[in-house]
């Protein structure tokens, strides 16, 4: 068995760990920018403007169109997390970046992308609210949420940030386990990989999954309990991904 032990590599004069971390983060931001921003643009065009146009052309506007897409960021963010490890690990390790630094950068990037997407959802809900109010339309929410009104900015941000972050952590684990261990062992570790996403669903309880849980007698815990719990489980998910990644050689040992 080949075990790779990370050691501190010497770096050129004036290059610090912080400088290198910033460069790794920049590589992730630039490399995944088209994927993330493209998703935002498609969602705004399809669910907001396209959806309102369809309602106007049929029975009239009586529901929040933006709310119909409220489950989408979870699944997109899971795909973003899956992409991150395989896309960057081998490339950056070959450049002398440690697996630990890659994992730290991944945690920072995923947190930032979760916050950015949650903020986008807040802003579009507010834009839609102003538009609907100016036209006298009803902005009825189609899905159960932590919030009850599109004007509850803090609760909107909390719901989407927590759910997106937990699904990103699951995506990170999925990408790392399949990339590092191969298909069959990745399949065997699916229950581990999905722990952050399941925790996000059970502790936040929103959108389509909320109805299924409610029908089975499950009720949302207080957000003061659920929010820190989701953050801890998501952070542990990124850390477990690092532990799986740490002994990986650039090329699998033969024989």
- Which three-class secondary structure state does DSSP give residue 182? coil
- Which mean pLDDT values do the consecutive 10-residue runs of the chain (255 residues) have? 46 65 94 94 88 78 85 93 92 88 95 97 94 88 90 95 97 95 93 95 85 78 94 97 85 45
Nearest to 119 by CA among 161, 77, 80: 161
β-sheet bridge partners, residue 63: 140
CA distance 182 to 204: 32
Q: What is the pLDDT of residue 75?
A: 92
Torsion of CA 199, 204, 209, 212, to 10 degrees: 90
Predicted pLDDT of residue 3: 47
b (16+ CB within 10 A) / e for 60-93: ebebbbbbbbbebbbebbbbbbbbbbebbbeebb
For residue 254, the model assigns a pLDDT of: 45
> CA-to-CA distance for 156 and 117, rounded, in angstroms?
11
pLDDT, position 10: 43
Q: What are phi and psi of 12, to 5 degrees?
A: -55, 155
**Cβ within 8 Å of residue 192, ≥6 positions away:** 173, 177, 240
| Residues paired with residue 140 on neighbouring β-strands, in sequence order | 63
Is 63 in a helix, a strand, or coil? strand
What pLDDT score does 8 carry? 47
C-alpha neighbours within 13 Å on the C-beta side of residue 233? 27
Per-residue pLDDT at 250 = 61
CB atoms within 10 A of CB 238: 23
């Amino acid at each position: 068995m080949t075990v790779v032990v990370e050691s501190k590599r010497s770096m050129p004069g004036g290059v610090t760990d912080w400088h290198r971390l910033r460069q790794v983060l920049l590589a992730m931001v630039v490399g995944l920018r088209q994927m993330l921003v493209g998703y935002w643009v498609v969602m705004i065009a399809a669910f907001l403007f396209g959806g309102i146009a369809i309602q106007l052309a049929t029975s009239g506007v009586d529901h929040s169109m933006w709310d119909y897409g409220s489950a989408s960021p979870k699944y997109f963010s899971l795909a973003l997390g899956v992409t991150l490890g395989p896309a960057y690990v081998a490339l950056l390790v070959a450049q002398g970046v440690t697996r630990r630094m890659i994992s730290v950068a991944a945690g920072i990037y995923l947190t930032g992308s979760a916050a950015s997407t949650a903020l986008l959802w807040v802003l579009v809900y507010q834009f839609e609210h102003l538009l609907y109010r100016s036209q006298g339309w009803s902005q009825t929410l189609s899905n159960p949420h932590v919030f009850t009104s599109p004007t509850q900015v803090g609760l909107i941000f909390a719901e989407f940030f927590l759910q997106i972050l937990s699904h990103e952590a699951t995506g990170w684990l999925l990408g790392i386990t399949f990339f590092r261990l191969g298909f069959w062992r990745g399949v065997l570790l699916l229950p581990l990989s999905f722990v952050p996403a399941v925790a996000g669903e059970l502790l936040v309880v929103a959108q389509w999954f909320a109805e299924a849980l409610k029908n089975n007698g499950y009720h949302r815990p207080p957000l003061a309990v659920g929010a820190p719990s989701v953050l801890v489980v998501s952070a542990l998910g990124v850390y477990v991904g690092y532990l799986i990644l740490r002994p990986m050689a650039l090329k699998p040992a033969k024989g």
